[in-house]
Chain A
Amino acid sequence: MQDNRGYIKGISGSVVTSTCFANTSIYEVVYVGSERLLGEVVRVRRDVADIQVYEDTTGLQIGDHTIFTGELLSMKLAPGLLGQVLDGIGRPLERLGKKSPYISRGTHIDAVDDSEKWYFIPRLQRGDDVGPGDILGEVEEKGIKHFIMAPLDFRGKDNTISWMAPKGEYVVDDVICKIGETTVKMFQRWNIRTPRKVGRKLDLDKPLLTGTRILDVFFPLALGGTAVIPGGFGTGKTVTQQSIARWANADIVIYIGCGERGNEMTEVLEEFPSLTDVRRGIPLMDRMILIANTSNMPVAAREASIYLGMTIAEYYRDMGYNVAIIADSISRWAEALREISGRLEEMPGEEGYPAYLASRLARYYERAGNVVPLGSPQRNGSISVINAISPPGGDFSEPVTQSGLRLSGCFWALDKGLATKRHFPSINWAQSYSLYHENLDRYFTREISEDWVPLREFVFNILHDGKSLQEMVQIVGRDGLTEEEKWILKLSELINIFYLQQNAFDPNDAYCDSGRQLVMLNTLKLLDEQIRGALNSGVLFEQIDSQFAFVADLMKLRSQNTEDYENSLTSYIKKLKEELSDLI
């Protein structure tokens, strides 16, 4: 072991330069100094290596030892990850926090608790042949079936099971199976920077439903797709992401707080355990894994955190689950990359970011997808990626936003103007887009209603018409409008208040499923038909506008639960019809 010890030659912030060896490889894990701080080699130059250190480097001295491990940074994947809070390099913050309220240095513990027992039920038996990724057995983890799979890199000569553990309780370090001569334990290790191999990639044909009307109806994200949410500070990025984490129809949600506020992570930690998953009735925290690397925690760990999250996501995807991975925010990750690159004195590209920013981002975004994982039985899993972007000064032309736009299929543009008017979610319908409409329209038509697409187009057209009319009014005033145009202007305003805005504090409105979304769309259509009918019979718009309190009526409808809503809608339209006919 004496051979792989080097010593520190230089220190600059989180980057340490050390002597190294001919066999030192890039991304090799290194322990630095007497406290054994965790680091990773990011550059090798003959006999000197640059190491990014994942912990605070204060107090390190020239001449301190470095230990090269010969291994890559990996994650121990096993039952017990769900509901955990990890830092950027996969240490469990709960267990670290028991000792001290501050992040301590040089403590290396795995995320999974190796003393926890799991009830293992084998699915295969002695004599069965297995290949990489085959499901050997299962344990129950927080209400989901956690499948124990043959390692993906398993390459034994003999692929027949020679021994299988009987049903019973095991810890993650116990051997549960022998394939030929190879022993298989309940955990696997995987290098976080390498994507896990899959069988094949599939088309995206199902939506990731969020319960947020503007997203599900106008800008839907597919399971296995990618979305970006750029927005300056105070535009509601975090709120939007948290509401997606809360309501999305994914089986597992991985939330990466990447260089964001400590109090925001605490908010999630305090709120989510008391909330229930609307679909399965389990506490929301039980389907979540949080990765918290707040802005004041070491910057290099911020760089690693998104890979860590992705590796865990891929592990659960391989079991056949739909995983959503939410990163808040990818800009902070890019800044960490820039900071390390600056310390390495690399040639800067656009805005000081290293030239490899775009390719690194692409590799991350491309780990999303809808796939058939390796191994039998055949199953289907997906990873949907949702990235927040914090563009400096709210300027969307900067490289992280631009790469995000190129690489993702959904663009949810947050609008400062809407946020200041307390229009939430403050997503700008005119700027946002989704490239998944074509794939998903078939799903909505088949599963929800044939009216879905026409209704959506109806509402969207009104919004567009309303917008151009609004621009006209600003120039020529309202007098030039026809009666019908005045109504369109009013209706587009109603759509904004009633449909696009959603009240996160109203239990009947915070989460809106597709069925309810359809009824609400239909409400607007029915309303439009009635009013147009009246206008065509010669009633003036002013007469209608002064007689009806549309906003109050619609908001009253919206605050009811779906069943009551449908009943009151019928009577509302009936009453409207009668009163309108009186005007005629």
Chain B
Amino acid sequence: MKLLKEGYKTVEKIAGPLLFVSKVARGGIGEIVKIESNFGEDYGQILQIVDDLCVIQVFGETMGLAPNNTVVWLERDVVKIPLGIALQGRILNGRAMPIDGEGPISCIEKWAPIQGNAINPWRRKSPHEFIETGISTIDLMNTLVKGQKLPIFTGSGLPADKLAAQIVKYARTPATSADSSPFMVVFAALGITQREASYFREAFRESGAIYRGVFFFNLAGDPSIERILTPRMALTVAEYFAFEKGYDVLVVLTDMLHYCEALREISSAREEIPGRRGFPSYMYSDLASIYERAGCISGIKGSITQIPIVTMPDDDLTHPVPDLTGYITEGQIVMDRELHGKGIYPPIDVLSSLSRLMNKGIGEGSTVPEHRALSDQLYAAYGRFKDLVRLKTIIGEEGLTPTEMSYLSFGEKFESEFVNQGERRRSLDETLEHAWNCLLTLPKDELHRLPVNLIDEVMLKRGTKA
């Protein structure tokens, strides 16, 4: 218990979300401060110090603050969050205050700094456990594994929320053996609208995820600077449940574009040299400090799997936010407007999607031995289909060979049956069945990525069935 409080009334300048306070003795970087004014109390964090001048980012609004009515109290501590098993089922705001009307957080086990530490690469365990999401295009072609960070790149108006909620609802590890870890969701909403928030809340209630998850809601109307804290708080909670309580935690962060915009807001208030599209040049490192908190650790039960949702402004994959995200995460699931227009759900464009850790979680022992080959064959054939569609528009259908025509019918079947599964969950067996259905529209000789005996076997089996 501190008997003495240290406060300063020396605010020199207020610019956007920043306070500049002078004559501060021994300020510490990253420390939290309490800001008191006529409008009440708020919190902030020391960002930069030059001699006795501290630059403080205010988490709430700076509106109404004036140099002469503001007192800055030094807390002499970094930002921390209370942790305890009783967090499960709670709904918190962007700075971890309960908003579900259930009273304050009880049974606090400890307080932990939200900054987090980098996992020693030597202590990481490479992710290798298959997660069945129930979505064909993900399970067969872009497999998600425990401990992976796999973002969903979406455009405005595309159903990324629906997909994320669907994954949360259906995700499971197939072999539920005795020693498997309990599963839970940590959800962080970053600047999403009221409508999106209630959609998620409803979806989670329906799937029951609400009772075992922890939910952070920073809505579009909430202070944007708070968004800098929210994902870090969510991940600190996730780390606690994963690496101390042995849970398999799925973290959904939506929408990272809004997080980056908050970062840009602070950067421009600090008058830093802007990088691409005005985003700060350290955005890569900053995003990495969030995304890299996913993973598995050797010798410790539990895992953190991340599904960040990133909106691509104007569907531009090269926009800095999706671009840098793609460089850090282990693949991406890309939503496509054209498929969406055709009424296909989920409108996942498999050609731009990728799961880098797929090989770890598939094949003999995890799924089926021919998983990789099947996926490659689908990719190659669908890629060929796309090329041929272009060619067809130029030279017309008459110019195509019979083999090429079979690719066209393959592609249509693939989109309308394999991709377009609707909101139903598909087991891996069903997915495989659909994949073969599509592939067998092609001549056998074209399936050169699959072992010949396997094709014969499947054809025989189907022949007898039919």
Q: Which residues of A contact B (CB under 8 A)?
A: 9-13, 17, 56-63, 85, 93-94, 96-97, 100-103, 232-234, 257, 259, 261-263, 265-267, 269-270, 292, 294-297, 299, 332, 335-336, 338-339, 342, 348, 351-352, 390, 392-395, 419-423, 473-479, 497, 505, 549, 551-552, 555
26 A–B contacts, CB within 8 A, in A order? A10-B48, A11-B48, A12-B50, A62-B24, A62-B28, A93-B122, A101-B123, A102-B120, A103-B119, A234-B331, A261-B292, A263-B148, A265-B121, A267-B360, A294-B121, A296-B285, A352-B273, A390-B327, A419-B354, A420-B351, A422-B380, A423-B380, A476-B395, A478-B395, A505-B372, A552-B452
Q: A292-B121, A421-B384 are in contact. List 7 more A-B contacts (CB 8 A).
A: A9-B50, A61-B27, A295-B284, A299-B282, A420-B383, A477-B399, A505-B372
Q: Does B13 contact A (CB under 8 A)?
A: no
- Please give me the 10 A-B residue pairs with the lowest Cβ-Cβ distance, nearest first: A393-B318, A295-B288, A421-B383, A102-B117, A296-B292, A233-B326, A93-B122, A61-B28, A58-B30, A266-B124
Q: Given the complex, which residues of B lie within 8 Å of A259, measured CB to CB?
A: 284-285, 288
Q: With A58-B30, A59-B78, A352-B275 given, is the CB distance from A270 to B281 under 8 Å?
A: no
Task: Assess whether B119 is in contact with A101, with CB atoms less than 8 Å apart.
Answer: yes
Task: Assess whether A552 is in contact with B448, with CB atoms less than 8 Å apart.
Answer: yes
Q: Does B466 contact A (CB under 8 A)?
A: no
Q: Given the complex, which residues of A lie within 8 Å of B452, measured CB to CB?
A: 552
- CB < 8 Å neighbour of A58 from B29, B122, B383: B29
Digitize B94-130: 1 where CB-to-A-CB distance is under 8 Å, 0 elsewhere.
0000000000000000000101011111111111000
* Alpha-carbon gap, A394 to B126, bound state (A): 28
* Alpha-carbon gap, A421 to B31, bound state (A): 50
Q: Does B421 contact A (CB under 8 A)?
A: no
Digitize B315-337: 1 where CB-to-A-CB distance is under 8 Å, 0 elsewhere.
00011100110111011100000
Q: Given the complex, which residues of B lie within 8 Å of A270, measured CB to CB?
A: 126
- State the main secondary structure of chain B at its contact with A: mixed
* Alpha-carbon gap, A63 to B281, bound state (A): 29
Chain A, residue nearest B320 (CB): A392
Task: Assess whether A103 is in contact with B147, with CB atoms less than 8 Å apart.
Answer: no
Task: Assess whether B122 is in contact with A269, with CB atoms less than 8 Å apart.
Answer: yes
Among B24, B351, B360, find the residue whose CB has the most chain A CB atoms closer than 10 A.
B351
Q: Given the complex, which residues of A lie within 8 Å of B147, measured CB to CB?
A: 263
Q: Given the complex, which residues of B lie within 8 Å of A478, measured CB to CB?
A: 395, 399
Task: Assess whether A395 is in contact with B284, with CB atoms less than 8 Å apart.
Answer: no
Chain A, residue nearest B451 (CB): A559
- CB < 8 Å neighbour of B328 from A102, A295, A419, A421: A295
Smallest beta-carbon distance B381→chain A, Å: 10
Smallest beta-carbon distance B322→chain A, Å: 9
Q: Given the complex, which residues of A lie within 8 Å of B273, measured CB to CB?
A: 342, 348, 352
* Alpha-carbon gap, A298 to B159, bound state (A): 37
* Alpha-carbon gap, A339 to B380, bound state (A): 41
Q: With A9-B50, A335-B281 given, is the CB distance from A262 to B119 under 8 Å?
A: yes
Task: Assess whether B379 is in contact with A422, with CB atoms less than 8 Å apart.
Answer: yes
Task: Assess whether A497 is in contact with B448, with CB atoms less than 8 Å apart.
Answer: yes
Task: Assess whether A296 is in contact with B289, with CB atoms less than 8 Å apart.
Answer: yes
Among A59, A269, A476, find the residue whose CB has the most chain B CB atoms closer than 10 A.
A59
* Alpha-carbon gap, A351 to B29, bound state (A): 28
* Alpha-carbon gap, A476 to B446, bound state (A): 25
Smallest beta-carbon distance B389→chain A, Å: 13
Q: With A11-B49, A342-B272 given, is the CB distance from A292 to B122 under 8 Å?
A: yes
Task: Assess whether B126 is in contact with A266, with CB atoms less than 8 Å apart.
Answer: yes
- CB < 8 Å neighbour of B120 from A13, A96, A392: A96
Digitize B275-289: 1 where CB-to-A-CB distance is under 8 Å, 0 elsewhere.
110000110110011
Q: Given the complex, which residues of A lie within 8 Å of B356, measured CB to CB?
A: 234
Chain A, residue nearest B377 (CB): A422
Smallest beta-carbon distance A530→chain B, Å: 19
Q: Given the complex, which residues of A lie within 8 Å of B275, measured CB to CB?
A: 351-352
Q: Given the complex, which residues of B lie within 8 Å of A266, measured CB to CB?
A: 121, 124-126
Q: With A96-B120, A552-B445 given, is the CB distance from A475 to B394 under 8 Å?
A: yes
Q: Given the complex, which residues of A lie within 8 Å of B119, measured CB to CB?
A: 101-103, 262
Q: Does B52 contact A (CB under 8 A)?
A: yes
Among B274, B282, B399, find the residue whose CB has the most chain A CB atoms closer than 10 A.
B282
Task: Assess whether B124 is in contact with A296, with CB atoms less than 8 Å apart.
Answer: no
* Alpha-carbon gap, A9 to B24, bound state (A): 12
Q: Given the complex, which residues of B lie within 8 Å of A423, measured CB to CB?
A: 380
* Alpha-carbon gap, A335 to B289, bound state (A): 15
Task: Assess whether B121 is in contact with A17, with CB atoms less than 8 Å apart.
Answer: no
Smallest beta-carbon distance B404→chain A, Å: 10
Q: Given the complex, which residues of B lie within 8 Å of A297, measured CB to CB?
A: 118
* Alpha-carbon gap, A297 to B288, bound state (A): 9
Q: With A94-B122, A233-B327, A292-B122 given, is the CB distance from A420 to B30 under 8 Å?
A: no
Task: Assess whether A421 is in contact with B380, with CB atoms less than 8 Å apart.
Answer: yes
Task: Assess whether A392 is in contact with B115, with CB atoms less than 8 Å apart.
Answer: no
Smallest beta-carbon distance A273→chain B, Å: 12
Task: Assess whether B281 is in contact with A339, with CB atoms less than 8 Å apart.
Answer: yes
Q: Does B295 contact A (CB under 8 A)?
A: yes
Q: Given the complex, which residues of B lie within 8 Å of A12, measured CB to CB?
A: 48-50
* Alpha-carbon gap, A573 to B409, bound state (A): 35
Chain A, residue nearest B280 (CB): A342
Task: Assess whether B29 is in contact with A299, with CB atoms less than 8 Å apart.
Answer: no
Task: Assess whether B122 is in contact with A62, with CB atoms less than 8 Å apart.
Answer: no
Smallest beta-carbon distance B217→chain A, Å: 26
Q: Given the complex, which residues of B lie within 8 Å of A348, measured CB to CB?
A: 273
Task: Assess whether A261 is in contact with B330, with CB atoms less than 8 Å apart.
Answer: yes
Chain B, residue nearest A102 (CB): B117
Interface set, chain B 58-94, CB cutoff 8 A to A: 78
Digitize B235-246: 1 where CB-to-A-CB distance is under 8 Å, 0 elsewhere.
000000001000
Q: Does B5 contact A (CB under 8 A)?
A: no
* Alpha-carbon gap, A297 to B292, bound state (A): 10
Task: Assess whether A62 is in contact with B379, with CB atoms less than 8 Å apart.
Answer: no
Chain A, residue nearest B271 (CB): A345
Smallest beta-carbon distance A340→chain B, Å: 10
Q: With A58-B30, A62-B52, A342-B281 given, is the CB distance from A269 to B121 under 8 Å?
A: yes
Task: Assess whether B332 is in contact with A234, with CB atoms less than 8 Å apart.
Answer: yes
* Alpha-carbon gap, A352 to B273, bound state (A): 7
Q: Given the complex, which residues of B lie within 8 Å of A351, measured CB to CB?
A: 275-276
Digitize B380-424: 1 where CB-to-A-CB distance is under 8 Å, 0 elsewhere.
100110000001001100010000000000000000000000000
Chain A, residue nearest B24 (CB): A62
Chain A, residue nearest B379 (CB): A422
Smallest beta-carbon distance A14→chain B, Å: 9
Task: Assess whether B27 is in contact with A62, with CB atoms less than 8 Å apart.
Answer: yes
Chain B, residue nearest A475 (CB): B394
Q: Given the complex, which residues of A lie within 8 Å of B31, measured CB to CB?
A: 59
Interface set, chain B 363-381, CB cutoff 8 A to A: 372, 376, 379-380
* Alpha-carbon gap, A263 to B328, bound state (A): 10
* Alpha-carbon gap, A126 to B279, bound state (A): 65
Task: Assess whether B376 is in contact with A103, with CB atoms less than 8 Å apart.
Answer: no
Q: Given the complex, which residues of B lie within 8 Å of A233, measured CB to CB?
A: 323, 326-327
Task: Assess whether A10 is in contact with B49, with CB atoms less than 8 Å apart.
Answer: yes
Task: Assess whether A555 is in contact with B448, with CB atoms less than 8 Å apart.
Answer: yes
Digitize B22-34: 1 where CB-to-A-CB distance is under 8 Å, 0 elsewhere.
0011111111000
Chain B, residue nearest A545 (CB): B401
Digitize B151-166: 1 where CB-to-A-CB distance is under 8 Å, 0 elsewhere.
0000000000000000
Q: Does B438 contact A (CB under 8 A)?
A: no
Q: Does B352 contact A (CB under 8 A)?
A: yes
Q: Does B297 contact A (CB under 8 A)?
A: yes
Q: Given the complex, which residues of A lie within 8 Å of B276, measured CB to CB?
A: 351, 392
Q: Does B35 contact A (CB under 8 A)?
A: no
Task: Assess whether A9 is in contact with B51, with CB atoms less than 8 Å apart.
Answer: yes
Q: With A59-B30, A265-B124, A393-B318 given, is the CB distance from A477 to B395 under 8 Å?
A: yes
Chain B, residue nearest A338 (CB): B281
* Alpha-carbon gap, A73 to B324, bound state (A): 31
Q: Given the complex, which residues of A lie within 8 Å of B458, measured CB to CB?
A: none
Q: Given the complex, which residues of A lie within 8 Å of B372, measured CB to CB?
A: 505
Smallest beta-carbon distance A128→chain B, Å: 42
Q: Given the complex, which residues of A lie within 8 Å of B117, measured CB to CB?
A: 56, 102-103
